[in-house]
Chain A
Amino acid sequence: MDKFVVNIIHRPEMVPEYSATVTGHGKEEDIGDKALLTESLDIFKTQQECAHKNGLKTTIQMTYASLFNEEAVQLAKEHHEKYGDEIALTLLGLPCEQFREKYKTKDFCIWMFSMEDKMAIVDDVFAKFHDIFGFYPESTGSYYMDAELINYIKDKYPSVKCAVATCWEEGPKAYHTCNNSWYTFMDGGPWAPWIPSKQNTHAPAANAAEDSGIVAIPHLSRDLIACYDGNGSNFGTHPQNVLRGMIYDSKTWEFPYLYNLIDQYRYLAKFNNGYAYNMMFVGPGWMNKMGRWEAPYELLLKSYEEGCAYYGQLKKEGKLADMTMAEFADYYRSKKGVDDGNYNEPECALWRDILYGSQKQLFWYADPYMRVCVNMDQGGAIVDLRPYVAKLNWPVGIGTKHIQDASYPFLIQEKYRAGYFTHYAGEGTVRSAKICHNGEEVDLCLCRTKAHFSQEGKNRILTLDPVEIEFRDCNVTIQSVITFEEGSSKIRIDRNILSVSDPDAEITINEYMVGCYGTTEYTEDMSSLSLSLTGSNPTTIPYEYKCREACLADADSASCTLPPIETKVSMECDGRDKCGYIKEGYAFSPMFTIGYTGSLKDKEVFTTWLNLEKAN
């Protein structure tokens, strides 16, 4: 039977984000404001009550500030005894008088501190927690937890087995939404729980040696279309986020979208061997008595009460299991086969639009070697690709090269580096194919379709509905099949010609990937890249923005090596008249292209494999 698990997390935050700065507009900052502390605790109590009255247990993530508050501590102890809530420790909510006095800074994001400060703060809050409760926590978290931080915590406090470790796709989009003032750059991670590798939090561990020892959960469960395209903070399992997105009826205050989102996550059990997951974590600042943006307090409260009520209803119907974070960590390792040594079971999500009415469909795939997004509205093109295989060492925080930028680099990202469509000249990042006949060319990106998921042994298979391509003198019906073989670090794509109106017509195909690397919209220096063709007459083009091209008949592979992200991406092919090629790009189009051309007739198949490797 399918199992849908929810983690409901609350934190008693004595100085809630936004409360002091936004709703406290017009007042001098007073981080010890007694009225603020009282209200914050009241919100925490309300949230706990909402969960408990619906029969749901919670994980109480104590903040540093709350450890100095006797009432908050007492409440946590009582609720642990009475409801089975887990008492955990978050690294959010650091700001308070004691913290400011000690660390002399207004920084509050743990991953942005220097490593020295990270260790000092962790030791400080864990010791304080131990003083208060007499044990170390099993769960912790922040909006992001970098690998060095997780490794330190796990080494020093081995009881920790679960952590909130990223906000899915909270990067440049969230920054822009906040008028370029929200410095949480952490795109490129998994959207559902995973076991972070010791080398890079985003990249799941491939084996026991890489296992960081914790199970990571995302901060909220996000809409895998809406958040990919838009502001992440409007489209998650956070009822007030849905209000932030104005996704409710302003007259009736109804918000069916939240339930659609939860239900679609339940549906993902179909792609993950009967397991699905949700996380709800609303900071108290979102239930401020003064309201939040357009939403008065009454609506904020209604949304949270009804959100909890829906999870409670699912539990009563036997459709949901509520767990604490620590309970979930044990369940996850067992369910995913990690306890038996298998780290390769992927996370899959065939996701449909439930908000805009577009009927668009994306497929998300993540394993220890890659994260991939396939867009059915673009004929099954790969529109986002993160090479986890590199397990890129990417320290963040003050004193590192990446003080704020914790995102895992992409090879393909259609939103930041264009996809199929570009203005005037050049190309955008995408993995697609062009079908050609008698001088006409059609890119499969313009063939809207739908996909069907299946699993055969270790293969997850995406079978797309056939698409028809109309040329002047013949029509071609093509079906794409995309196969992810567990643990292979490869993506296989078969293009099957199902029919041609003229059986003698010769069709040519151009399978291509346009790529680059980066974490933002802005281009990086491509000078260290090199492109290669292997086979009977190998060729290499060092990237110098000179717009050079090379091709090789019957090539064994076409590849690009990207030293800045320690990644090699290559394509191999099995098809008639195959010819590998590489393209360098130029300053106005700082991309690279690898691909194969070949020939096809009715009933023939053209197969390519996209391979990802770590390049040292």
Chain B
Amino acid sequence: MAQSGKGKLNYRCPACFKRDLDIDMFYDKEKKQYYCIRCQFFGTEEEVLAENETVRSKYKDYLKRYTSFEDFD
């Protein structure tokens, strides 16, 4: 089995990201799989991207444009 490397982008582990950890994943080209060396996460690129969408769920207002910083309604 050949050594792992980086993928085309530096995908971070989405499971670690959710606990405020930035960990680059490595790519196993034989299994076509990104994996985390810190936790047990692994997945294809599609699965990583799907997980990254769930990362955003904590940002309930990340697409909202605020026009006032006083109103709370």
B6 to chain A, nearest CB (A): 5
Tell me the bound Cα distance from A45 to B48 in angstroms: 34
Tell me the bound Cα distance from A22 to B25 in angstroms: 12
Complex contact B59–A247 (CB within 8 A): yes
Q: Does B30 contact A (CB under 8 A)?
A: no
Complex contact A249–B55 (CB within 8 A): no
Complex contact B69–A352 (CB within 8 A): yes
On chain A, the residues within 8 Å of B22 by CB distance are 177-179, 231, 244, 293
How many residue pairs between the two chains, A and B, have CB atoms under 8 Å in the bound complex?
88
On chain B, the residues within 8 Å of A357 by CB distance are 60-61, 64
Known: A256-B64, A257-B62, A357-B61. A25 touches B52 (CB 8 A): no
Smallest CB-CB separation from A229: which chain B residue? B20
Complex contact B66–A247 (CB within 8 A): no
Tell me the bound Cα distance from A83 to B6 in angstroms: 41
Q: Specify which of A230, A293, A296, A359 lies most central, judged by the most chain B CB atoms within 10 Å of its CB.
A: A293
- Interface residues of chain B: helix, strand, loop or mixed (majority): loop
Complex contact B9–A26 (CB within 8 A): no
Tell me the bound Cα distance from A161 to B27 in angstroms: 48
Complex contact A260–B66 (CB within 8 A): yes
Tell me the bound Cα distance from A260 to B63 in angstroms: 10
Smallest CB-CB separation from B58: which chain A residue? A356
On chain A, the residues within 8 Å of B12 by CB distance are 293-294
Complex contact A293–B58 (CB within 8 A): no
Q: Does A489 contact B (CB under 8 A)?
A: no
Complex contact B61–A294 (CB within 8 A): no
A22 CB contact (under 8 Å) in B5, B10, B72: B10
Tell me the bound Cα distance from A94 to B69 in angstroms: 41
Complex contact A231–B66 (CB within 8 A): no
Q: Specify which of B5, B6, B69 lies most central, judged by the most chain A CB atoms within 10 Å of its CB.
A: B69
Q: Does A176 contact B (CB under 8 A)?
A: yes
Smallest CB-CB separation from A178: which chain B residue? B22
On chain B, the residues within 8 Å of A246 by CB distance are 17, 52, 55-56
Smallest CB-CB separation from B68: which chain A residue? A267
Known: A179-B38, A359-B72. A250 touches B52 (CB 8 A): yes
Known: A246-B56, A352-B69, A355-B62. A231 touches B20 (CB 8 A): yes
Tell me the bound Cα distance from A294 to B49 in angstroms: 9
Known: A22-B24, A26-B5. A294 touches B52 (CB 8 A): yes
Chain B proximity mask over A275-313: 1 for CB below 8 Å, otherwise 0: 000000000000000011111100000000000000000
Known: A263-B66, A357-B60, A359-B72. A296 touches B9 (CB 8 A): yes
Complex contact B20–A355 (CB within 8 A): no
On chain A, the residues within 8 Å of B11 by CB distance are 293-294
A89 to chain B, nearest CB (A): 30
Q: Does B31 contact A (CB under 8 A)?
A: no
Known: A177-B20, A260-B65. A291 touches B56 (CB 8 A): no
Chain B proximity mask over A240-282: 1 for CB below 8 Å, otherwise 0: 0000101111100010110110011001000000000000000
Known: A22-B24, A230-B20. A293 touches B10 (CB 8 A): yes
Smallest CB-CB separation from B16: which chain A residue? A179
Q: Which of A109-151 contact B (CB under 8 A)?
A: none
Smallest CB-CB separation from B24: which chain A residue? A22
Chain A proximity mask over B2-30: 1 for CB below 8 Å, otherwise 0: 00011001111000010011111000000
Smallest CB-CB separation from A356: which chain B residue? B60
Tell me the bound Cα distance from A116 to B60 in angstroms: 50
A294 CB contact (under 8 Å) in B10, B21, B38: B10
On chain B, the residues within 8 Å of A359 by CB distance are 72
Q: Does B53 contact A (CB under 8 A)?
A: yes
Complex contact A354–B9 (CB within 8 A): no
Complex contact B59–A355 (CB within 8 A): yes
B63 CB contact (under 8 Å) in A230, A231, A249, A291: A249
On chain A, the residues within 8 Å of B61 by CB distance are 257, 353-357
Complex contact A250–B49 (CB within 8 A): yes
B12 to chain A, nearest CB (A): 6
Tell me the bound Cα distance from A25 to B21 in angstroms: 20
Q: Does A391 contact B (CB under 8 A)?
A: no
Complex contact B53–A250 (CB within 8 A): yes
A256 to chain B, nearest CB (A): 4
A177 CB contact (under 8 Å) in B5, B9, B21, B64: B21
On chain B, the residues within 8 Å of A257 by CB distance are 59, 61-62
Q: Which of A311-358 contact B (CB under 8 A)?
A: 352-358
Q: Specify which of B24, B52, B56, B62 lies most central, judged by the most chain A CB atoms within 10 Å of its CB.
A: B62
Tell me the bound Cα distance from A176 to B66 in angstroms: 31
Known: A25-B5, A179-B22, A293-B9. A256 touches B65 (CB 8 A): yes
B51 to chain A, nearest CB (A): 11
What are 7 of the A-B contact pairs (CB < 8 Å)? A26-B6, A177-B22, A263-B69, A293-B24, A294-B11, A354-B61, A450-B72
Q: Which residues of B contact A (CB under 8 A)?
A: 5-6, 9-12, 17, 20-24, 38, 49, 52-53, 55-56, 58-66, 69, 72
- Smallest CB-CB A-B distances: 4 pairs: A357-B60, A357-B61, A256-B65, A267-B69
